[in-house]
């Protein structure tokens, strides 16, 4: 078990419990607002959004996300607090990367009407895994 310089033992315990459904709902609201801000149009109600808020899942797809976002404009809202990037897909969807406090990434994939994977619930809540194939990332313009 690790210990501090002062001799305190540091057990491996969870220090923070994520309320994943709440973070997913918040991410969807952020993306809907940013879509309107960036593109000037409201995201259609029948568009599906797959939110990914768990950093370990995003880490699994890090190379694909980096490939898509390389060269994209990074919009810094507040230095070291919040920035985002996005890319549009050929089928009029989009991929969004939001970074909070330069340490907590969130990813959202917006599917146009009728293009969402079958496992994505109608509630737009998404799931904890990212089952999309790399071709979703390959279609980013």
- Residues 31-76: tens digit of each pLDDT: 999 999 999 999 888 888 888 888 777 888 788 888 888 888 899 9
* pLDDT value of position 64: 81
Q: Which residue has the higher pLDDT, 91 or 10?
A: 91
* pLDDT value of position 38: 94
Contacts within 8 Å (CB) and 24+ apart, 26-34:
27/51, 27/53, 27/98, 27/106, 27/108, 28/108, 28/124, 28/125, 28/126, 30/98, 30/106, 30/108, 31/96, 31/98, 31/108, 31/110, 34/84, 34/86, 34/96, 34/98
* pLDDT value of position 15: 66
25's tokens: 């709902």
Q: Which residue has the higher pLDDT, 91 or 110?
A: 110
Closest CA to 80 of 61, 102, 96, 99: 102
Segment 104-109 mean pLDDT: 91
Instruction: Give the list of residues 6+ apart from residue 81 with CB closer than 8 angstroms, or none.
Output: 100, 101
Residue-wise pLDDT tens digits, 122-139: 544 333 334 444 455 545
H or E segment to which residue 28 belongs: helix 20-39
Segment 115-128 mean pLDDT: 54
Q: What is the pTM of this model?
A: 0.74
CB-based contact 82:33 (threshold 8 Å): no
């Amino acid at each position: 078990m690790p210990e501090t310089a002062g001799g305190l033992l540091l057990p491996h315990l969870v220090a923070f419990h994520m309320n994943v459904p709440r973070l997913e709902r918040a991410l969807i609201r952020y993306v809907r607002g940013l879509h309107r801000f960036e593109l000037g149009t409201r995201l259609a109600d029948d568009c599906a959004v797959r939110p990914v808020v768990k950093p370990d899942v995003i880490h699994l797809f890090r190379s694909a996300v980096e490939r898509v976002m390389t060269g994209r404009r990074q919009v810094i809202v507040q230095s070291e607090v919040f920035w985002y990037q996005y890319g549009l897909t050929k089928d009029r969807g989009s991929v969004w990367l939001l970074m909070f406090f330069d340490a907590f990434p969130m990813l959202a994939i917006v599917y146009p009407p009728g293009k969402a994977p079958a496992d994505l619930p109608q509630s737009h809540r998404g799931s904890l895994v990212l089952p999309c194939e790399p071709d979703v990332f390959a279609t980013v313009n």
